[in-house]
């Protein structure tokens, strides 16, 4: 892995072919200059942590169906728990009216 932009953009290596790679871009937002209430605007569109976790969960479930083992089951459980906590954070921020804003 190589960091192109901390927290937002990465180059991921291929496992067997080190001559090619993949870029993963996460959504990046910055405060709107002069706005009141910490409003954010998208400066680079991209994916989210939640979406990456959904991909990993699906992949691990597929692998578990082909090569079942205790370790895969534990990984799936922990990925699902991580997704649950991120979704809870978003739901809580929506209830407080601070989702999409730079407010704790």
Q: What integer pLDDT is reported at residue 33 of this predicted model? A: 83
Q: Which helix (H) or strand (E) holds 58?
A: helix 49-66
pLDDT at 1 over 70: yes
* Whether residue 10 is found in the same domain as residue 33: yes
**How many angstroms separate the CA atoms of 18 and 83, rounded?**
30
- Residue 48's pLDDT is what? 96
For residue 43, give its domain range: 1-47
Length of the chain: 104
- Report how many domains make up the chain: 2
Q: Do residues 41 and 54 both lie within one domain?
A: no
pTM of the model: 0.86
**What does pLDDT average to over the chain?**
93
Angle, helices 70-96 vs 49-66, to 10°: value is 160
Give me the sign of the Cα torsion angle 37, 103, 79, 13.
Answer: positive
Whether 33 and 12 share a structural domain: yes
> What whole-number distance in Å separates Cα of residue 14 and Cα of residue 21?
5
Q: Does one domain contain both 54 and 103? A: yes
Report pLDDT for 101.
79
If asked whether residues 70 and 98 sit together in one domain, one would say: yes
Q: For 44-72, how does the pLDDT look when each residue is reduced to its tens digit (9 = 90+)? A: 999 999 999 999 999 999 999 999 999 99
Same domain, 53 and 103: yes
């Amino acid at each position: 892995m190589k960091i192109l932009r901390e927290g937002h953009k990465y180059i991921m290596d291929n496992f067997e072919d080190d001559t090619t790679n993949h870029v993963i871009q996460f959504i990046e937002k910055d405060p709107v200059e002069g706005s009141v209430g910490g409003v954010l605007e998208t400066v680079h569109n991209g994916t989210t942590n939640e979406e990456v976790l959904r991909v990993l969960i699906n992949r691990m479930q597929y692998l578990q169906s082909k090569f079942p083992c205790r370790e895969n089951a534990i990984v799936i459980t922990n990925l699902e728990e991580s997704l649950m906590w991120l979704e809870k954070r978003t739901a809580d921020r929506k209830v407080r009216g601070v989702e999409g804003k730079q407010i704790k």
